[in-house]
């Protein structure tokens, strides 16, 4: 039986990855280490708690003793733990630098001393900055534009340096905009869906022309799994799809699917430094045999359906005082500038 440490496993993609691993790899034991920040939620993994192949540890990746304890006896580390929302990084970058960079340093040091066999850092397409034309390949120079993206880019460089300097068997995945069950309703798709369900306006930033290509979370998980098992140590792998959808159309589609008034789409002041386009060349991971299983229409339908079917999950989050005060702070600042 092999053992895997999944940091940030109570968050959106991490919890889906834990479920994916328990299902597809019955020989694998999973330890989740998660600080349970505002974005971490035990409800995301409560169905995993029933198996003796799963163990949860509440703790911070910045704390070396906690990390050493959780990592001891583990073959593989997959790091999802991060502050993940660009708008929050604009309001206050401090926790982004702390967790996304310093936390990764602590994980790398622990993994190096414990001689972990595989260390996979879950990164993002945002490290390349926005791409007005063409497609980013893994060897492109980094040009991050938000504190979130810069903290992730810095971590990628540190992870790569552990390969070059210490020969550590590291891997990096750079995923695109991921959607699906258990995504905290601050990211655009779950925010738009849950606002529409409550007949609240859908706030489209600027003129709504910025585009994103959406990836279903299970496809993101299967890509990470593929890279873990067949990727070449020291390499980074882009993970994404190529159907570009702008904010204007995304809001309109959701209102249409949920049969809500088109007038709920509302244009609001733009995000500062808004990246207008990300676009990934995924040839390298395709060469490992990975393909996404859902196209945009299918992933949108499936995601909308999950939020319709799980009102208790998102209503609990949206009723928390922290959720409401975050929105108040964000829009107070945005309308002032």
Under a CB-based contact definition with an 8 Å cutoff, are residues 111 and 118 in contact?
Answer: no
Beta-sheet strands, E only, within 235-318: 236-239, 244-246, 265-268
Given 34, 60, 125, 218, the catalytic residue: 125
Residues 6+ apart with CB under 8 A from 102: 62
Which residue among 34, 60, 83, 126 is the active-site one? 126
Place of tokens 């959780």: 70
Region of 54-62, 138-146, 304-312, 326-334 interacting with ligand NAD (CB under 6 A): 54-62
Residue 62 contact, options ligand NAD, ligand TYD, none, Cβ 5-8 Å cut-off depending on partner type: ligand NAD
Catalytic residue among 148, 162, 184, 237: 148
Residue closest to 225 by CA, chosen among 8, 16, 1, 7: 16
CA distances from 75 to 4, 19, 169, 229 (A): 6, 18, 11, 12
Q: Is 147 in the site for ligand NAD (CB under 6 A)?
A: no
Residue 205 binds to ligand TYD (criterion: CB under 6 A):
yes
Closer residue to ligand NAD, CB minimum distance, 15 or 260: 15
41-49, 150-158, 198-206, 217-225 -> range binding ligand TYD (CB under 6 A): 198-206
203 lines the binding site for ligand TYD (CB under 6 A) = yes
- Closer CB to ligand TYD, 205 or 326, in the complex: 205
Q: In this structure, are strands 244-246 and 211-216 parallel, antiparallel, or unpaired?
A: antiparallel
280 binds, among ligand NAD, ligand TYD, none (CB under 5 to 8 A by kind): none
Among 6, 45, 82, 106, binds ligand NAD (CB under 6 A): 82
From the list ligand TYD, ligand NAD, none, pick the one residue 145 interacts with, judged by a Cβ distance below 5 to 8 Å according to partner type.
none
DSSP string, 61-117: TT-HHHHHHHHTT-SEEEE--S---HHHHHH--HHHIIIIIIIHHHHHHHHHHTT-S
Which residues inside 207-226 make contact with ligand TYD, applying CB under 6 A? 210, 212
Q: Which does 247 bind (CB under 5 to 8 A by kind): ligand NAD, ligand TYD, none?
A: ligand TYD
Out of 76, 89, 124, 195, the residue judged to bind ligand NAD by CB under 6 A: 124
User: Annotated catalytic, 297?
Assistant: no
Told to judge if 126 belongs to the known catalytic residues of this protein, a careful annotator would answer yes
The CA radius of gyration of the chain, in Å to the nearest whole number, is: 19
Kindly report the length of the chain.
337
Specify which residues 4 forms β-bridges with: 30, 76
- Rule CB under 6 A: say whether 240 interacts with ligand TYD: no
Which residues are tagged catalytic? 125-126, 148
């Amino acid at each position: 039986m092999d053992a895997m440490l999944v940091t940030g496993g109570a968050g959106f993609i991490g919890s889906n990855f834990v479920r994916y691993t328990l299902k597809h790899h019955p020989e694998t034991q999973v330890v989740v280490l998660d600080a349970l920040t505002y974005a971490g939620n035990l409800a995301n993994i409560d169905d995993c708690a029933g198996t003796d192949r799963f163990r949860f540890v509440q703790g911070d990746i910045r704390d070396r003793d906690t990390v050493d304890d959780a990592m001891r006896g583990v073959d593989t580390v997959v790091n999802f733990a991060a502050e993940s929302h660009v708008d929050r990084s604009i309001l206050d970058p401090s926790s982004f630098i702390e967790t996304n960079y310093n936390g990764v340093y602590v994980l790398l040091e622990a993994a190096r001393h414990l001689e972990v066999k595989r260390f996979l850092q879950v990164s993002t397409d945002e490290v390349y900055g926005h791409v007005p034309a063409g497609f980013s390949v893994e060897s492109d120079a980094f040009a991050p534009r938000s504190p979130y993206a810069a903290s992730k880019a810095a971590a990628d460089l540190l992870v790569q340096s552990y390969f070059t300097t210490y020969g550590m068997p590291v891997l990096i995945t750079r995923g695109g905009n991921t959607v699906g069950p258990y995504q905290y309703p601050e990211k655009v798709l779950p925010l738009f869906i849950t606002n529409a369900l409550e007949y609240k306006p859908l706030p489209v930033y600027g003129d709504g022309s910025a585009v994103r290509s959406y990836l279903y979370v299970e496809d993101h998980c299967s890509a990470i799994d593929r890279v873990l098992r067949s990727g070449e140590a020291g390499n980074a792998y882009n993970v994404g799809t190529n159907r570009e959808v702008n904010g204007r159309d995304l809001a309109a589609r959701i209102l249409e699917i949920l049969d809500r008034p088109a007038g709920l789409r509302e244009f609001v002041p733009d995000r500062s430094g808004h990246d207008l386009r990300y676009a990934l060349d995924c040839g390298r991971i395709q060469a490992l045999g990975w393909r996404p299983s859902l196209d945009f229409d299918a992933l949108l339908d499936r995601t909308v359906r999950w939020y319709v079917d799980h009102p208790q999950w998102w209503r609990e989050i949206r009723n928390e005082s922290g959720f409401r005060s975050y929105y108040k702070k964000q829009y107070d600042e945005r309308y002032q500038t």
